[in-house]
Amino acid sequence: MITADESFAAMLEHALHILPVALALVVPVVLAGALVLRAVRRRTLATTMTVLVLIPVAAMFAGVLGVSGFMFDATLATMWLVCLLVALVTVPLAVLFGRLIARRSVWEREARRRERAAEESRRELVAWISHDLRSPLSGIRAMAEALSDGVVSKPEEVADYAGRIGAESARLSGMVDDLFELSRITAGALRLTFAAVPLRDVVGDALAAQGPAARRKRIRVHTDAPVWPVVLGSDPELGRVVRNLLANAIRHTPHDGTVVVHAGVDADQGVLAVDDACGGITEAELPKVFDVAYRGTVARTPESGDQPAGAGLGLAIAKGLVEAHSGHIDVRNHGPGCRFEIRLPLAT
């Protein structure tokens, strides 16, 4: 009768006998798998995961063959069948997980890229705004000190200084309003109440608001609208979009120039376009027009003293508001200048 100790000893002796054979088969498979893995390291993550799964499965096949002593019997067939089932389950899972991990990695890289771009944009915005706030504040302080010290005493000079202080204060207030609006857009805090909005009324109000600036530069503002569309949107925000586009067109159009506002319907969209005479924008800079703090280059019409440069926020705000309306805004060179075009869904 064989005791338990004798049985264990026999099993141990058998294992030690077949272990070198099994290792002799497993190690080359693993080394070959490592070479394959090195060859596919630049391919997709799903391919790499598949190879990583197939290496131990192939090594297990080789090890089972070595342990069986190359005896192709029912036991070996059963073990190979088990290994095959394991491969059929693990390989598709490896491909699936590889694709999921790859997709997540791409998403994370894109998220980091967007975060870096946003941080760079914020730093650039702070630099621009700091510069823009400093200039009018310095002027206001200097004129206030001149009035306080009695350096300016004639009534007409006092009135002139007071008017200039008021103008600079209004400019500062507009910049603060732009910053607040931009922060709402970027933070996703816009709460729009949609209704049917006639673009004729929106354009009329915007023309009235920008009329003084146009008259100071003797700029003619025309409208060309075979059909005035009624769009689905929020009246205050759409009014701000049109005012920003008109202000931008007037600012960059030279004296005695012309600005044209077009309106119409295209399929299920209302179209509004503003043409200026800025001289055009280089193709390299066109994609940057709606970036925060973008102001263009000297190739465009220089700013005049009675129409100071903006903070570079108006077009960025217009883009954010149009997209919040499920619309689209675009710019292209057209005629003597540029055409800014917005498309909005029509009210049903």
| 87-109 confidence digits (pLDDT tens) | 777 777 777 776 777 677 777 77
Q: Just give the CATH number of 194-345.
A: 3.30.565.10
Query: What is the spatial distance between Cα 199 and Cα 62, in angstroms, rounded to a whole number?
Result: 76
Q: Is the pLDDT of residue 177 over 90?
A: no
Alpha carbon distance, N-terminus to C-terminus of the chain = 95
| Spans of all domains in the chain | 4-106, 194-345
Instruction: Say yes or no to pLDDT of 77 above 60.
Output: yes
Mean pLDDT of 176-193: 77
Averaged pLDDT score across all residues of the chain:
80
pLDDT at 146 (0 to 100): 84
Q: Which amino acid is at 285?
A: E
More confident residue, 41 or 296: 41
Rounded Cα–Cα distance for residues 134 and 149 (Å): 22
At 78 the pLDDT is 74
The reported pLDDT for the residue numbered 298 is 46
Q: Which amino acid is at 65?
A: L
Q: Which of 325, 315, 250, 243 is nearest to 286 (CA)?
A: 315
% pLDDT > 90, the chain: 28
Task: Output the pLDDT for position 15.
Answer: 57
Q: Is the distance from CB of 331 to CB of 289 less than 8 angstroms?
A: yes
CA nearest neighbour of 240 among 315, 171, 138, 183? 315
pTM of the model: 0.59
Shortest CA distance to 60 belongs to which of 93, 75, 82? 82
More confident residue, 236 or 186: 236
Query: DSSP secondary structure string, 98-135?
Result: HHHHHHHHHHHHHHHHHHHHHHHHHHHHHHHHHHHHHH
More confident residue, 122 or 156: 156
* Cα 255 from Cα 215, distance rounded (Å): 10
In this predicted structure, what is the pLDDT of residue 219? 94
Structure-model confidence comparison of residues 223 and 70, the more confident one? 223
* pLDDT score for 75: 67
pLDDT at 10: 60
What values do phi and psi take at 26, rounded to 5? -75, -45
Query: Which residues neighbour 3 within 8 Å (Cβ) at sequence distance 6 or greater?
Result: none
